[in-house]
Amino acid sequence: MLLQSLNLAQSSVNTLYLYAAAFFKIYRSSFVFFGYFADKVGYKIVMFSAAIMLAVVGYPLYMLMINNPTVQSLLIAQIGFAILGAGFIGPVMGVLSHLFSPRTRFTALSFSYNLGFGLFGGTATLLNMIFIEQTGMLIFPAIYLAIAAASSAIALGFVMHREKSNKTSLVKSIG
């Protein structure tokens, strides 16, 4: 829909589809990098940084695509979204696995992860398309992304706070 709204030539759209396939490979490969990086510096730090960056940089990347609809600007935006998205998704399983005890981890993790992705990821395209059709506001996906990223950063803040308080109470009970 965005490509149609930007009035790109069909040859440009075909070129973008080819590049999109290549960038998907970069995106998938970046998961491994960010997962490894998160092992070294901490899962929540990497995810929190990626969420904040998505909230801040998402709007300018969408504006770049809308105000300058060329193959180059769309590729730059795709690269930006791929790297930032991988920075969040790469370490997500490490964080989620620590939220649940080993006894309930499989069920709780599977249910919460799939429910979240189904509700928010599965409906994102539909909600964005409906809103764009109703308002003509092409920038709405950036707003949706910023809200989702900010909500994720807030949720990660609670996870970080919970772990700090658990460590403090463990030290008090030992001491």
Task: Output the pLDDT for position 163.
Answer: 61
Task: Output the pLDDT for position 168.
Answer: 47
Task: Output the pLDDT for position 55.
Answer: 93
Task: Output the pLDDT for position 142.
Answer: 92
Task: Output the pLDDT for position 170.
Answer: 40
Count of domains forming the chain: 1
Residues of the chain with pLDDT under 50: 168-175
Number of residues that this document lists for the chain? 175
Q: By the 8 A CB rule, do 84 and 48 touch?
A: no
Task: Output the pLDDT for position 5.
Answer: 63
Cα distance between residue 142 and residue 128, in whole Å: 10
Q: By the 8 A CB rule, do 127 and 79 touch?
A: no
Task: Output the pLDDT for position 172.
Answer: 47
Instruction: Please give the structure tokens belonging to residue 161.
Output: 């706070």
Domain of 47, CATH number, reads 1.20.1250.20
* Other C-beta atoms lying within 10 Å of the C-beta of residue 50: 26
**CA distances from residue 17 to 62, 75, 144 in whole angstroms, order as listed:** 18, 10, 23
Structural domain including 32 reads 2-174
Cα distance between residue 30 and residue 43, in whole Å: 15
Cα distance between residue 36 and residue 90, in whole Å: 9
Task: Output the pLDDT for position 61.
Answer: 93
Gap between the terminal Cα atoms of the chain? 61
**CA distances from residue 78 to 2, 15, 119 in whole angstroms, order as listed:** 13, 13, 24
Task: Output the pLDDT for position 17.
Answer: 76
Task: Output the pLDDT for position 125.
Answer: 87
Instruction: Please give the structure tokens belonging to residue 113.
Output: 């992860």
* Other C-beta atoms lying within 10 Å of the C-beta of residue 11: 9
What values do phi and psi take at 136, rounded to 5? 75, 10
Task: Output the pLDDT for position 31.
Answer: 85
**Contacts for 39-43: CB closer than 8 Å, 24+ residues apart:** 39/94, 43/91, 43/94, 43/95, 43/98
3-state DSSP assignment of residue 141: helix
Task: Output the pLDDT for position 175.
Answer: 46
